[in-house]
Structure 1
Amino acid sequence: MLNKLSFRNARRSVKDYLVYIITMTIISSLMFAFNGLLFSSSVRELLNEVTSIAVFIGLATFFVVIIVIWLTKYIINFMLEKRSKEFGTYLLIGMDKKQVSRMFKREHLLLGTFTFLLGLIPGYLLHLALITIFFTVFDSQYQFVVDINIYTYLLTLAVYFFAYFLALLRINRKFKKMEIRELLYLENNNEVSTKRKSLFLISLAYLFFFHLIVYTGHANVQLIWPLLAGLFASIYGLFIGLSGYLTSYIQKKGKAITHEANIFIFRQLASKIKTMRFTMGSLTILFAVTILSWMFVLLFSSYQKEVFDGNLMDIDVFYLKDHVATDFSQQLGTIEKYGEIEESYTYHVYDNDKQTKLNEHLYETVKGAYDSEGRSAYFDYDTYMLLSDYNHLRAMAGFEAVSLEDGEYLIQGKEKLVNTLTAYGSDNDLSINSERLTCRQVITDPFSQSGMNGADYILVVPNSYASSLTPYYSILAANVASDSMYEIEQALEKDSGYLEDGDIEDKLLAIKYGTSSEQLITFSTPILVRESLVTELDSVTASASFTLGYVGIVFLVVAMSILAVQQLSDASKYKYRYQILKNLGMNRRERNKVIVKQLAIYYLCPVVIATLVSAFTGVFASDSFAYYTGLSMSGVYYYLIALVLFLAIFFIYFLVTYISFVRAVEK
């Protein structure tokens, strides 16, 4: 009997709460697709290990489980309120509370099972799409194979129903405490009302204070967590205060109240915000996190393609020695064990009588010249290279040779510092052994300048000045034909003795190794294998991007689901109110206009606040990211793209809700 009743009610819930069903199906699909990456043999072979993606997906799963628990618990409580009279009736006809509670839980477990199974097929297709994107990021060919094992199913099943279990945990206790009378009138209960208008102003003041602290750079690691806690509290305070303002405005009969059917819309909105202020605050936070997550996906993607790959020279192996040497026979022998050396070249980086003029200029003008621990980004002395060595490296990387006359020098630097270096070159001559050299040009071709060929820059001078310069350190550069570049890197590190004798960074202190002004990724290694390094960074950035995208999608569909379920469930309750408007003479077009206004204001409240909060934080964060990494586009560009994508999906949800709402009130 109970099983039949549970099945019937679950089937009815699929129809009544279709948006919720679709949302849980999407979440099931996303969980399955992303968990599949952890156990994919193709991904394991591509990355050699899946540590980074496992860490990121683990973090994402933690946040997704929390939000799914909140969504499921919210819908359970919402359905309990909507069906409270039905449950009260069950108790009146002789069913006990345990039976009603068990039946209600079975309904949700049936819904959960249904959405889980429904999400498997689209989840598998999404999994294939994710793997294809992964291989595209790494410029590798993907051979289609059935790449899902039993652990993917088990992990997704465990995580999915763990969220359901926690959400249903308190149902027995809730039913046990409720009397029949409470159930019969539960639908009429609302959150406790308040008219604290002052909270609105206090919250606005805190939002201004928060962004002022962030913009002025006074937010440190110890301060950021209490600041964020205050930010979340202020968002909830905005809605509590807004409820008070709306109620007061209606009571004072403001000018906008008497315009058309605005009194109807204002009363609906005031009622909704007053009874759903905690929910509206939570939705605002979810929307803001979604926009910021997608913004960082775009930032990571651009950094990976434009900056990181754009700074690395197209030479396979660099090996740096912290003392002047010309014998790299051991390293060449190691490389030959795993591949064929097509070309190798040994050269020196020089200093000029221990001068630090350009370093000092960069320390004064470049943000990031010191890292978070106060360590300098550059070598102890200005770094120099001879023109012949410079042109040889350019030839190995496929660039054309450049020329210099005696009395000239050029600066090879990173694209992000082109203006700084150009200004320095125009205002400053070099002095080598009392002879002055003028700057001919600044070149920003990729040149591996994060600790190998200088840090951020290197000064290139004609060979005629070689006798006046002091060799600083030595480098072996090699182009290698091999399918085992990762093994080459491991073997070089093992043979170098760095791993056995101590930390690589400690070994490099002898020359005060420079790491450049990059803040996101820095190299503290004397061994640079381009393919291995690119693969490692691609692994981290791709994993971070996929995870942020994953979290953003889940947060958005959960938030939009709650908004839609609330409005569509209230449509039947509002039906008679719109019938009154019809009886008062409003035609269908005018009533639909009122519906649009009602839904738009209700939907836009959390979206507008989320946009304002995320705009200040997002633009500041993206601008800082772009500055420190050297992205060519302004940070505003990335925020706006994320916002447009968010609003496009938001509009689709809004349109579906509007169409369904109109059908519900007009039928």
Structure 2
Amino acid sequence: MLLGIKKTSIARLLVTENILVGIFAFILAIPIGFVFSQFISVIIVKLLKIPKTIFIFVNFVSIGMLAVYFLLIYLLVLLNLLRRIRKMTVHDFLYFEKQNETKMFHGNRKRNILFLLSIILGIAALALWASRWTLEKNGAQETLTYLIISMSILIVSMYGICATCADMLLSALLKSKKIKYKKDYLFTARTFASKARTMSFTFGTLSMLILLSLLCLNYSSICKGVYHRSIELTAPYDVDIFDYEQPFDDFNEYLRVIDEDYTINESIEFNIYKDPAHQIQNYYDVQFYNFDPVMKLSDYNKLLKMRSLTPIELKSDEYFLVTDRQLLYKVEGNNEIQNIRFADQKLHLKGIDTNSFWYTMNNTGRFTVIVPDKYVSGLEISEKHLIADTKEDTTSKLEEK
């Protein structure tokens, strides 16, 4: 402007410069972002244990949407820059960089109060999050509202911490004359002071994005665990067939049907027996069933091995109980079932397991008593089961056959 260049020409030069820088940044961001997305995808795949997943592809729709977002945001930034430059005078240009040297906080007391308040807000947000993320409360309608509130408070806390930490670090450096006047530390400190505002906002935004990414990853892991648990409860084996009406079906016919489309690695047939004394059933509900479902130890261990679980051992005076996790409270810590009478023998409870339970383990869908093989002789067979492990992944079409 001192040389006589018009303000509009200066504004045009600055806008052109920013447009060229923006185009270069956009072109450079695509390959860097692609490589970074592959890295993040590999981490997520490893954490969620997704097998044989490859993400090497380019989505042109995503690139197009990125270009649209980038252009819209950049257009708004350029318009704001153009508006500010058109209003600036020679005095404003000469002292423009002095504005960056103004401290964000004029007093240390206000800064320290804001820092402590941000810390308290962050702790309160985490406590609120932890209080609602429980098995009893995560299904409540108001849980989502509380989680959104806690996340919003946590984001505000992070911005406050980032803003105050930059000023606190700068104050600590400038207080020490030995550090301030040593080598080029003064120039570095002034540069840091001029960038403190932008850095605080940038670090706050990055922290927020990292936080949201971790929360999404945490939520994905939780969903993956829920889905995995649901599969383990409903269909832990490739094929699960049972018959509870006599005369029982011949499972060889089912095996032939399965063998038409799948390669059978292993198959197990086992029986569920009735214990008419129903000593365990009394603590569940005798409204529909007046017996305890019983399984042989050898059959149970075969099922465990098929699921890559550790087999168990029982002495001649021990029994084992398998039940649903949601019904564990009915028998856990119950002294009445520590010792039962079975086949005129006194059996002691060795333990209770919920990991190996699934809903069709027997027709009652509540629990199964595991006893040594010799004790099931003479008991009535309640139902027969066929479990098959196939080389290929089974589909719902097999159920329709």
Q: TM-score, normalised by structure 1?
A: 0.41
Q: Which runs of 5 or more structure 1 residues have no equivalent in the other structure?
A: 1-87, 361-378, 415-420, 496-667
Instruction: Check conservation: 2:244, 2:384, Cα contact below 8 A.
Output: yes
Structure having the higher helix fraction is: 1
Q: Distance in 1 between matches of 2:166 and 2:312?
A: 69
Choose from 232, 238, 251 the match for 1:317. Answer: 238
What is the deviation of 1:229?
0.9
RMSD of aligned Cα (Å): 5.8
Instruction: Check conservation: 1:341, 1:479, Cα contact below 8 A.
Output: yes
Paired residue type of 1:157: I
What is the deviation of 1:228?
1.4
Structure having the higher strand fraction is: 2
1:390 equivalenced with 2:290 (yes/no): no
Could you say which residue in structure 1 is the equivalent of 2:146? 223
Could you say which residue in structure 2 is the equivalent of 1:176? 83
Instruction: Check conservation: 1:386, 1:466, Cα contact below 8 A.
Output: no
CA offset digits 1:519-559 (Å, max 9, x no partner): xxxxxxxxxxxxxxxxxxxxxxxxxxxxxxxxxxxxxxxxx
1:462 equivalenced with 2:372 (yes/no): yes
Choose from 405, 410, 421 the match for 2:320. Answer: 410
Choose from 271, 280, 296 the match for 1:355. Answer: 280
What is the deviation of 1:387?
2.9
The 3 A distance-change label for structure 1 pair 489 and 294 is: closer
Instruction: Check conservation: 1:430, 1:437, Cα contact below 8 A.
Output: yes
Choose from 65, 81, 99 the match for 2:12. Answer: 99
Instruction: Check conservation: 1:193, 1:274, Cα contact below 8 A.
Output: yes
Paired residue type of 1:238: I
Q: Distance in 1 between matches of 2:63 and 2:220?
A: 31
What is the deviation of 1:440?
5.2
Could you say which residue in structure 1 is the equivalent of 2:348? 438
The 3 A distance-change label for structure 1 pair 183 and 317 is: same
Instruction: Check conservation: 2:320, 2:350, Cα contact below 8 A.
Output: yes
The 3 A distance-change label for structure 1 pair 392 and 192 is: closer
The 3 A distance-change label for structure 1 pair 261 and 97 is: closer
By relative contact order (CA 8 Å, sep 6+), the higher-ranking structure is 1
Instruction: Check conservation: 2:239, 2:389, Cα contact below 8 A.
Output: no
What is the deviation of 1:200?
2.5
Secondary structure at 2:207's aligned position in 1?
A: helix
The 3 A distance-change label for structure 1 pair 491 and 165 is: same
What is the deviation of 1:490?
1.6
1:233 equivalenced with 2:139 (yes/no): no
Instruction: Check conservation: 2:167, 2:196, Cα contact below 8 A.
Output: no
What is the deviation of 1:344?
3.6
Secondary structure at 2:346's aligned position in 1?
A: strand
Q: Distance in 2 between matches of 1:226 and 1:141?
A: 35
Matches within 5 A, 1:159-174: 159-170=65-76, 171-174=78-81
Could you say which residue in structure 2 is the equivalent of 1:449? 357
CA offset digits 1:41-84 (Å, max 9, x no partner): xxxxxxxxxxxxxxxxxxxxxxxxxxxxxxxxxxxxxxxxxxxx
Q: Which has the higher Rg, Structure 1 or Structure 2? A: 2
Equivalent pairs: percent with the same residue?
16
Q: Distance in 1 between matches of 2:313 and 2:7?
A: 97
What is the deviation of 1:278?
2.9
Paired residue type of 2:239: F
CA offset digits 1:432-485 (Å, max 9, x no partner): 4775312457789xx8534344789743113434655773x653212335x4x3
Matches within 5 A, 1:251-650: 257-258=175-176, 260-261=178-179, 273=196, 276-288=199-211, 292=214, 296=218, 317-321=238-242, 323-324=244-245, 326-327=248-249, 331-332=254-255, 334-341=257-264, 343-349=266-272, 352=275, 353=278, 355-356=280-281, 384-391=294-301, 393=303, 406-411=316-321, 428-432=338-342, 435-439=345-349, 448-453=356-361, 458-463=368-373, 464-465=375-376, 471=382, 475-481=385-391, 483=392, 485=393, 488-495=394-401
CA offset digits 1:105-137 (Å, max 9, x no partner): 5303540454157659x859969x969x89xx6
Q: Which runs of 5 or more structure 2 residues have no equivalent in the other structure?
A: 138-142, 325-330
Residue-pair matches, total = 360
Q: Distance in 2 between matches of 1:200 and 1:160?
A: 36
Instruction: Check conservation: 2:339, 2:347, Cα contact below 8 A.
Output: yes
Q: Distance in 2 between matches of 1:275 and 1:125?
A: 26
The 3 A distance-change label for structure 1 pair 491 and 448 is: farther
Secondary structure at 1:189's aligned position in 2?
A: helix
Q: Distance in 1 between matches of 2:98 and 2:31?
A: 34
Q: Distance in 1 between matches of 2:244 and 2:122?
A: 54
